[in-house]
């Protein structure tokens, strides 16, 4: 059983994938680029703003599924420059202040649209 999650409060998919999938006991988001939905722009300079935008987009998808960031059990953070890890982590910690989820963070050669960061989450119902 799987159902696509679609919301106007997060970036539309730029390929043949869903913003998120409700798979029964779990909800999976696709990787979220740092698009500022209010401005309609991609944050390419400031890693703190970029991390905030990516997490807000994950949050919007979860909310469409009736969940919140408190339901997140695992995150994966993709960054093009791990020297910005501490700055990203400052923002990330604001979104998961208690009982944070398991996390992987990896440096990648490049991300779609020239983004600095992409974040995906898995949430339990």
For the chain, first and last CA: distance in Å? 14
Total domain count, the chain: 1
- Full domain range(s) for residue 71: 3-124
Read off the pLDDT of residues 67-107 as tens digits, 9 standing for 90 and up: 999 999 999 999 999 999 999 999 999 999 999 999 999 99
- pLDDT given for residue 14 in this prediction: 85
**What does pLDDT average to over the chain?**
97
Contact 111, 118 (CB under 8 A): yes
- pLDDT given for residue 44 in this prediction: 97
CATH of the domain at 60: 3.30.1330.40
Read off the pLDDT of residues 26-77 as tens digits, 9 standing for 90 and up: 999 999 999 999 999 999 999 999 999 999 999 999 999 999 999 999 999 9
- pLDDT given for residue 69 in this prediction: 98
- The count of other CB atoms within 10 Å of the CB of residue 99 is 7
């Amino acid at each position: 059983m799987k159902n696509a999650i679609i919301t106007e409060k997060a970036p539309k998919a730029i390929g043949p994938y869903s913003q998120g999938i409700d798979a029964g006991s779990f909800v999976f988001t696709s990787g979220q680029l740092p698009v500022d939905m209010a401005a309609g722009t991609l944050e390419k300079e400031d890693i703190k703003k970029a991390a905030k935008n990516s997490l807000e987009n994950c949050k919007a998808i979860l909310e469409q599924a009736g969940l919140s960031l408190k339901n997140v059990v695992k995150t994966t953070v993709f960054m093009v420059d791990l020297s910005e890890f501490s700055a990203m982590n400052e923002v990330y910690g604001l979104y998961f202040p208690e009982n944070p989820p398991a996390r992987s963070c990896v440096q990648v050669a490049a991300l779609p649209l020239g983004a600095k960061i992409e974040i995906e989450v898995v949430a339990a119902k």
